Amino acid sequence: MSTLVTLLAAARSGALARGLAASAALGVVGAVLAGCGPASGSETLTVLAAASLREPFAALETTFEEEHPGIDVTLSFGGSSDLADQIEAGAPADVVATADETTMARLSDAGLVAAPTLFATNVLTIVVPTGNPGDVRSLADLGRRDVDVVLCAPEVPCGRAAAAVADGAGVAPHTVSEEPSVTDVLAKIALGEADAGLVYVTDAATQPDDVKTIPTPEAADVVNRYPVAALSEAPSPDLADEWIALVTGEEGRSALSEAGFGAP
């Protein structure tokens, strides 16, 4: 800083000196500010995850960053099939967690991920808007023509599970819309845009004021198992392994259990 003071003092001696001093002073100020600024070049861990994992993974993001100073965790959520499409298209990522084994097997068979590890389970439940305008009381009511039903699209894990639950009970839902993720189904029900939907119990629990759950014992026979894996071309393979260790370890199990997920 003494250099800066000297340069500014010299600037008072004349026009030429003022010009030279001003230029030098700006250089010194820039150097001082650069030295005081935040560190650059922080490493990033990119995690692609099924939409239903938003709550527990957000909690684990905080834990991971606290345990790894200088590491920025970037979470991207979506339907599992959409995530697989992104990976197949070459999207850069370190870890992927899907809501079913079928989607992960697709990536594994293509050599795009390392050996997957199961870390959670989930089941579906019927949700209706608060007030239950369609008077839905059971899974059978989803087949009524006066009940508008929203489900996940069949290529999405929650869509496959919904089809399995309905087929097992001999019910043909009166489906008016198929959505790309379970959170989209939940949003439509919460907004009252349909009379009923099938979502994971974990998602239903996130909006207790906007939706009501209807007992769905038939869903107990259709359990979604969640695998997580590092991408074969992960930019940060060591960090990917550490994230997976967190998810499958005690802290991960606690966060998942708190969100309503079952053990693997």
Binding residues for molybdate: 52, 80, 182, 200
What is the gyration radius of the CA atoms in the chain, in angstroms? 26
For β-strands 211-214 and 124-129, DSSP reports them as antiparallel
Distance linking the first and last C-alpha atoms of the chain: 60
Structure tokens at 198: 């099938």
C-alpha torsion 214→215→217→223, nearest 10: 60
Nearest Cα neighbor of 183 from 221, 157, 146, 215 is: 157
Asked whether 142 and 136 are in contact (CB, 8 A), the reply is yes
Q: Calculate ∠ Cα 259-261-262, nearest 5°.
A: 145
How far, in Å, CA of 256 to CA of 126, rounded? 21
